[in-house]
Amino acid sequence: MKFKFKKSSGLPADSPRFAIEAGARRAEAGQVSKLLLVLAIIVLVAVVITYLVMRMATPPPKPNPNPEPTELQPVYSQTLGNIGFTFRSTIDMGNVLRAQDSLSSTGWQKDLATTERFIKVTIGAQNQGKENIQERSWDIGNIVDSEGRIYEPLEGYTISPWLPENNGCQALLKPAFEPVLCTKIYEVSKKSTGLKVNVIAGKDNLANNFSSDKVDTALIDLILK
């Protein structure tokens, strides 16, 4: 039994017609790729436009009606003109200043008492300029608490026994010398917290301005022990 085989109807690879058909298929595939790329770009642009429109349509966030207060950092040094003031110490001396703890050698001294408490403050003052700063050009002033209550320093012979004999308040300040220490004692409420002390200097560091109340002032935080 004999079988008959049909000849293939395909075109030879080297025939002109085969080359034309192959080129047509490649061109068609290229057009499909370009179409897909164009569609992808259109979709991307549409997504971007949609995002921008939605973002523009979204109302901005409302400000917080009750913003948290900014916590202020304590300040332990201040500069007024050429005078640099620095915190040195604050001591809670209780409600009684004992005669035996006085710094003077007088034998008549008696205890000094209060219903509240005595606070002893020491601040350093240094001349950061190039010329002497004369006496009575600077000082430390009142204590202020967190509620704005003001406490003046105790003065006179009743408190002087508990102050250093070489107390440097308002003293001459020479350029670049070690800070001069100024110590004062205050009678302060037991309820007071957040204590600060005023430092004072005559404008332009001049004694004449200090005596005429033409002064610069600043506050220094106190660390109470």
What value does the mean pLDDT take over residues 31-43? 79
What value does the mean pLDDT take over residues 35-39? 80
Q: Distance (Å, rounded) from C-alpha 177 to C-alpha 200?
A: 19
For residue range 118-127, what is the model confidence (pLDDT) as tens digits? 999 999 999 9
Tokens found for residue 152: 């003046």
Whether residue 5 has pLDDT greater than 50: no
Whether residue 83 has pLDDT greater than 80: yes
Mean pLDDT value across the chain: 86
Number of residues written out for the chain: 225
pLDDT band at 18 (very low <50, low <70, confident <90, very high): low
H or E element that contains 56: helix 16-57
Across the beta sheet with 77-80, the strand order is 77-80, 83-92, 117-127, 180-188
pLDDT band at 56 (very low <50, low <70, confident <90, very high): confident
Q: Output phi, psi for 219, to 5 deg.
A: -115, 140
| pLDDT of the residue at 52 | 80
Tokens found for residue 175: 């350029």
For residue range 165-198, what is the model confidence (pLDDT) as tens digits? 899 999 999 999 999 999 999 999 999 999 999 9
What value does the mean pLDDT take over residues 16-44? 71
| pLDDT of the residue at 60 | 72
Terminal-to-terminal C-alpha distance of the chain: 123
- Residue 159: strand, helix, or coil: coil
Domain 77-221 maps to which CATH number in 2.60.40.1240, 2.40.50.140, 2.40.10.10, 3.40.30.10? 2.60.40.1240
Could you write out the three-class secondary structure of 5-55?
CCCCCCCCCCCHHHHHHHHHHHHHHHHHHHHHHHHHHHHHHHHHHHHHHHH
% of the chain surpassing 70 pLDDT: 84
Q: 187 or 1, which is more confident?
A: 187
Domain boundaries, the chain: 16-60, 77-221
Q: 70 or 214, which is more confident?
A: 214
pLDDT band at 106 (very low <50, low <70, confident <90, very high): low
